[in-house]
Amino acid sequence: MDDSVQRKGARRGVAGRFVARRSPGGLHRRRIRLAYLLILPSALVIALVLLYPLLFEFYLSTTNMSMQRIFNYQFVGIRNFATILADPQFYEVFFRTIIWTVVNVFFHVAIGLWLAILLHRKLPGRAIFRVLLLLPWAVPEYISALTWKGLFNFRYGAVNLFLGQVDNLLNSAYGLIGLARGWHLGPISWLSDPTWAFAAVMIANIWMGFPFMMAISLGGLQSIPHELYEAADIDGASGWRKFRNVTLPLLKPVLIPSVVLGTIWTFNKLNVIYLITLGGPGDKTHILVTTVYRAAFDYYRYGYAAAFSVVMFFILLLFTVNFVKHLRGTEAVY
Amino acid sequence: MRRSVYRRAQGDSPVKLFFIYAVLIVFTIIAVYPIVNVFSVSLRPNNRLYSTSLAIIPDDATLQAYKSVLFEKPFLLWLKNSLIVSLVTSVIGVGLASTAAYAFSRFRFRGHRAGMTLFLVAQMFPIPMFLLPLYILLGRYGLTDTLLGLAVPYVALTLPFSIWMLKGYYDTIPRELEESASIDGASPLSAFYRVILPLSLPALAITGLFSFMTGWSEYIVARVVLTQPDLFTLPLGLVNLQGQFSTEWGNYSAAAMLIMAPVMVLFLSMSRFLISGLTLGSVKG
């Protein structure tokens, strides 16, 4: 686009000697060459450090390379893929990954959007709430994970201590009315029971992720002109109708890319589960990406892990392509 | 900054306001408590680490854990390693991204769209997918267990995002500036260096800080590339401290406070720019 501007300038003779020396076509070619020159260093790094390893990964996935066989590995064709796809555990982990992704993204968006809507009004103390609610995002992820691991400790963790105090309160409340209690709240064996452990890692991850969606939603809300809400008020729309028919559609362009990115990030999120449960107890909190990481760097099964990554890659590719298609479909309807 | 707080007609009813504040306060407590908890454990004396009290500042608060982390643990060594890796990452990363982003912002060439798409797709790969082959390749060139070997993957990881952010910023600078520079006889390249780069200093600084923070907070890649304790970066050191859970709980918390306090301050002061960068990128595609 700017090239056409330049050429127009040359025709009018504005650019003087700079352009007069060369024909517009030559100038265009020079500019293109400059563009490639500017990109070259980045392109080299990306090619060497991202693309080449990725190609190498595809090759690895057809070998039986491992730590013992780092040089004398053999070509095994699709055997790695066959092993993975024939393993019922793969499908179990895949299913858990889907639950992990859906639950996390759902709560990230729901909590983030809800808080953003609450904050997007004239409210004394709004700025303070905003900063405090963004705090989890500012903590390095591995510190959050380690900290939550401590909070979920059975005896000394704050979560169980808190549950205990609530239980005491309930006890005295029941005593006050003179009722007997048949049930108790906590303590929960967060990290040694598979189901609770999976809940624990999801709670930690939801805590870490909702501020991002809140920030994105707040940014999006600010760009909605408030005349639209006034018009809705005049039409007598309820709060829910305004949310459904004004807020959500207008937030869509901001929310959808964040949801897609958030889904991919969550699907690939490694450090939370790795640091809190290491996939345990009994491998019952593994998701796909932690399985690959363990296979590669704790069990040193390189060929197998490479094949596993390739399978994951195709799952993600399928998701993204389908999502984009679906999006185009709905956009055509509007 | 544009401020368009929309006002509900004549404000909210008191009952509604009460519920709004109740929800906000509950979530704020949830958001802040884990951080407060780290702070409070870091102040506990050694013999009371396993207190079951939920008080924020313990009665017998002491800075003993901070002292022990700073002077008895290799914290300063980890700090030095982290600083080296993060600085190298951000300088090389921003240096490379600044020119590439300019090309993507101002020139139309074959591969323009493909390049921008590639940067987005790069977000899609699970880290182990490129880490495993890279690890094997780094091993072949003798780069594992070196700080440079860690900076290389970090640069590659941050580069797509940095280019995307900087392109968004360059797009907001009017082209007339370079045109008038070229009328004054500047070549396109010197127009970039003399006019655009100085104007972009804030964006460059922020992109640099984000690259820096990637290096500062990254654990998964570091654990694979570095195995020697004297090369450990802060995340590796901290996870190690926490590994000896029973004895080092207070030290872990003190170290965590020292690491996250500066990051949190930086992050909160920059979050506005990050968000506008992200939304710009997504809207303009």
What's the pLDDT tens digit per position in A52-104? 888 999 999 999 988 888 788 889 989 999 999 999 999 999 999 999 999 99
Share of chain B above pLDDT 90, in %: 30
Taken in order of first residue, the domains within chain B and their CATH numbers are 14-62 (no CATH), 68-284 (1.10.3720.10)
Determine the distance in angstroms separating the CA of B284 from the nearest CA of chain A, rounded to an integer. 10
Task: Read off the pTM.
Answer: 0.85
Gap between the Cα atoms of B200 and B203, Å rounded: 5
Average pLDDT, chain B: 84
What is the reported pLDDT for B122?
Answer: 76
Give the helix/strand (H/E) hosting A141. helix A141-151
What's the pLDDT tens digit per position in B71-99? 888 999 999 999 999 999 999 999 999 99
Q: Does A282 touch chain B (CB under 8 A)?
A: no
**Residues with Cβ < 8 Å from B90, sequence gap 6 or more?**
B158, B208, B209, B211, B212, B215
Gap between the Cα atoms of B233 and B112, Å rounded: 37
ipTM: 0.85
The amino acid occupying position A162 is F
Higher pLDDT, A273 or B244: A273
Kindly list the domain boundaries of chain A, sorted by start residue.
87-154+189-333
Average pLDDT of the residues in B14-30: 94
Determine the distance in angstroms separating the CA of A218 from the nearest CA of chain B, rounded to an integer. 10
B1, B6, B18, B273: which to substitute to probe chain A, counting the most A Cβ within 10 Å?
B6
Per-window interface: A 206-265 vs B, CB < 8 A: 207, 211, 215-216, 218-226, 229-230, 233, 253-254, 257-258, 261, 264-265
State the fold for domain A87-154+189-333.
MetI-like fold (1.10.3720)
Average pLDDT, chain A: 85
Gap between the Cα atoms of A51 and A49, Å rounded: 6
**Residue in chain B lying closest to A35 (CA):** B103
What is the reported pLDDT for B7?
Answer: 45
Q: Say yes or no to pLDDT of A22 above 70.
A: no
What's the pLDDT tens digit per position in B152-169? 999 988 898 889 888 888
Gap between the Cα atoms of A159 and A166, Å rounded: 11
Determine the distance in angstroms separating the CA of A105 from the nearest CA of chain B, rounded to an integer. 16
Q: Is A199 exposed, middle or buried (0-12, 13-18, 19+ CB in 10 A)?
A: middle
What is the reported pLDDT for A328?
Answer: 67
Share of chain A above pLDDT 90, in %: 42
